[in-house]
Structure 1
Amino acid sequence: MLLTDEETKMLNGDNGPAVRKAMEILVALGESFGAERLVPVNNVHMAGSSVLVAEEAGTRFVEDIRNQGGKFVTRVTTNPTAVDPSQWKEIGIPESDTALQVRLTGAYAGMGANTCNTCIPYLVGNMPRFGEHMAWGESSAVVFANSVCGARTNREGGPSALATALTGRTPEYGFHLTENRYGNFLIKVETPMRDMTDYGTLGYFAGKIAGQDTPVFVGLPNNPTLEDLKALSAALAASGAVSMFHAVGVTPEAPTVEAAFGDRTPAKTLVYGVEERTQCENALNKEPSDHVDWILVGCPNASVQEMREVAEALEGKKVHKDVSLWVTTAGAMYAMADQMGYVDTIKKAGGVVVRETCPFLARSRVIAPNKGYKTLTTNSAKMAFYAPGQFGLPAHYGNLSRVMQAAIDGVWR
């Protein structure tokens, strides 16, 4: 790799041991992917923010970097943690995780991170600019940033994102290069897209086929909501390893089919119709019984609009006594929804608005058996896809109105 004089000084230790170690990580990463140079970056989203991921060893690593004088030179936001800061005990999070999480979050904050602790940083003040080079972790946020915002980032792990935050550099390879951002195959959408759950189902379908390739969609409505695109991004990154999609006439790098493919011919063309949608919905519904006990809304974290819809569904009603309803969100979203009265409505009905964590990044394999949960019910394709393997919980999957009816009735209809 060709390094500037400033980058060479960082690699040689002129800026201290923390920066030297960070540069060693970035140079090794860049050379392994054939990058010719590093590019300046001023935007990092830190995926390794939960102690479920970092554990004791990772926490000590971050603490050591801070103790060596590490300071972030970029904007840094953090992914969800393993705990809700105010009600971790009530919802079943182990106390040992809480103590360790305070250390890890404190180390990030001490180096200058905005510890927003959410997988939707673009809704809490870290909105990417078109063409901006970034270093983001959290797979769903990476897809959203590349596709919906037109920013440029690869899927970064904890060490590489940390290294970029300390140096303001990332290797120029993958989705930082224009030639790697074109679509690979075409999906013709020939079924109505009614809500965010339909977009999640489409993402599940496309991700299974895509692997690491970039799908291009035609036939989507030209006015999807932010929540629709959030659900599509998350599901693509779950059933596949997708980092980017194009939706012709919707996303900024796909004004036409030709632009989305860089004037190349699609490797293949597929149709997504009513039959394909039904097959995917059935595949995500792993639980054959009507038993409902743990319901999750907010994967990725719920927006204020999603919390409004949950509150409207619960107005004047009660969550069934045998059901735990979680609505997971960011602290900033919680504050806005609280101001609007949505949080109070959900709480009065018997639901719980969980902040700064989610079943993926909390120790759900401990929480679920301790609480007696046997199933998970959700409107998130990502959550329905992962729940059987990650938590040992088969899932019910459907749109929000169906999920909220299950929360009230205590059965899946």
Structure 2
Amino acid sequence: MHLTAEEQKMLDGAYGETVRRSMKVLVALGEIYGADHMIEVKNVHSPGVSYRVAGDAGLGYVEDASKDAVFQVPMTLNTIGIDEKDWKQIGFPEDFSCKQLELSRAYEKMGAIPTNSCTPYLNGNLPMFGEHVAWGESSAVAFVNSVIGARTNREGGPTALAAAITGRVPAYGYHLDENRKGTHLIRVEVDLKTDKDFAVLGYFGGKLAGKDVPVFEGIKRRPTLEQFKALGAALASAGAVALYHVVGFTPEAPTKQDVIGDEIQPVVFDQAAYDKVCEKFSQKGPIDFVVLGCPHVSIREFEEIAGLVRGKRLNSDLWVCTSRMVRELAERMGFVEDIQAAGGEIICDTCPVLCCTLTQRGYKTVATNSGKMAHYAPGLWNLQPVLLNTAECIQAAIDGKWGE
């Protein structure tokens, strides 16, 4: 791999041991993937910042790094394992919470921006089209690559940390033009209207494409930001999709020919395919728990949820997961008060996928509008999921049941 003089100084230890180790990690990664040079990145979004993921080993590594290094580019933090402000009230264990706070402070000491969110693009980290970045968190990677058109691979915690310390990543994967073309063509023959519809399409597409690049044609209306968010999250969890294209609506796909060859035969997503995905997540009966905000809800989603619960009383526990920045705006607009008055909880900084435990609450079933949450709930928490749209989720929370 060719290194610039500055990069070679980093590797030689001229800027300290942490910088040297970080560059060594990136050089090794680049050699594995055949990169011949490094790319400067504009910013980083770091996964692996939940103590549930990092553990004591990760905590020790970040604390050591914080003693002699600072970040060279802006770095936002992904969801952590607790609600930083209200962890005691919500019931997160004290020992876990204290470890999480130590880990967060170590990142912040190096200059991290504590967004604590899986939607950094809603919280100030919004790259430009074509910019090179180093992002982790599967749903955020899918969004920034596909909807914004910036360029990143799926970074893990250690490589994101190394990228922030050096301002570099190796030039491979989705940083290169030739790897951003589509590999699977999906012809959409269902009229997509709700967040659930896009989650179902994403689940179908993720299972089909795996780690590759699906291209969707036939979508009739421009998806909203929230619908793109739902689509990407499901693609990235049912498969490992980091980049997708929607013909006519995502920036690199003004036409089908721009992103995929004519020789690729389409797979049809019709009503039968839609129904088959829904059958997988069709729990009926009592609903213990309802989760909205995986990925974190936007202010528009907050407004919708507040309108649906206003003046009602919930009979299932409801979590609305979001960033603290969006929560503060929702509080000013009265949405938080409406949701809490109905019996819902506003959870900041974390989500059920990355928090420490839900088992002590005794939940058995969960309703959600998130394909990602529906996918992970059985394995992570032994919860039986039902995938619904937002209005249906709120109705399930009001009734305490679904489908009976």
TM class by shorter-chain length?
over 0.9
Secondary structure of the structure 1 residue equivalent to 2:88: coil
Q: CA deviation at 1:313?
A: 0.5
Contact residue 84 and residue 101 of structure 2 kept, 8 A: no
Name the counterpart of 1:34: 34
Is the 1:184–1:266 contact (alpha carbons within 8 Å) kept by the matching residues of 2?
Answer: no
Does structure 1 residue 328 correspond to structure 2 residue 328? no
1:266 shift after superposition: 4.6
CA–CA distance in 1 between the matches of 2:229 and 2:82? 23
1:163 positional shift: 0.3
CA distance, structure 2, for counterparts of residue 221 and residue 73 of structure 1 = 43
- Give, as a single letter, the amino acid of the residue that structure 2 aligns with 1:274: Q
Check conservation: 2:76, 2:114, Cα contact below 8 A: yes
Asked if 2 retains the 8 angstrom alpha-carbon contact of 1:185 and 1:266, the reply is no
Task: Tell me how large the CA RMSD over aligned residues is.
Answer: 0.9
Q: What is the CA deviation profile of residues 166-220 of structure 1, one whole-angstrom value per residue up to 9, with x for unaligned ones?
A: 0000000000000000001111101110111100100000000101110100111
Q: 2:382 — aligned with what?
A: 392
Distance in 2 of aligned mates of 1:44 and 1:197: 30
The residue number in structure 2 matching 1:63 is 63
Q: 1:408 aligns with which of 381, 385, 398?
A: 398
C-alpha contact (below 8 Å) 2:50/2:100 kept by paired residues? yes
State the AA in 2 paired with 1:26: L
- Kindly indicate whether residue 273 of structure 2 is the aligned counterpart of residue 276 of structure 1: yes
Deviations along 1:341-396, whole A, 9 cap, x unmatched? 000100011100000000011023xx22x111111111111111111011111101
Matched position secondary structure for 2:219: coil
Identity in percent: 48
Aligned to 1:160: 159
SS at match of 2:293: strand
Letter in 2 for 1:91: I
Q: Does 1:339 align with 2:339?
A: no
SS of the residue aligned with 2:296?
strand
How far, CA to CA, are the matches of 1:199 and 1:90 in structure 2? 34
Shift in Å at residue 411 of structure 1?
A: 0.9
Q: CA deviation at 1:56?
A: 1.1
Where structure 2 has 5 or more consecutive residues not aligned to the other structure, the ranges are none
Partner of 1:117: 116
Moved over 3 A (4+): 265-268
Q: What TM-score does the superposition give when structure 2 sets the normalisation length?
A: 0.98
Give me the whole-angstrom Cα distance separating, in 2, the residues matched to 1:61 and 1:17.
12
Length, aligned pairs only: 403
Q: Distance in 2 between matches of 1:278 and 1:190?
A: 13
For residues 197-212 of structure 1, what are the structure 2 equivalents within 5 Å? Answer: 197-212=196-211
- Structure 1 unaligned segments of length 5 or more: list them: none
Q: Residue 229 of structure 2: SS of its match in structure 1?
A: helix
TM-score, normalising length: structure 1: 0.96
Aligned amino acid, residue 125 of structure 1: G
After superposition, the C-alpha distances for 1:385-408 in whole angstroms (9 at most, x for unaligned) are: 111011111101111111101111
User: Which whole-Å CA distance do the structure 2 matches of 1:315 and 1:92 have between them?
Assistant: 26
Cα gap change, 1:268 to 1:213, in 2 (>3 Å)? farther
Matched, 1:312 2:307: yes
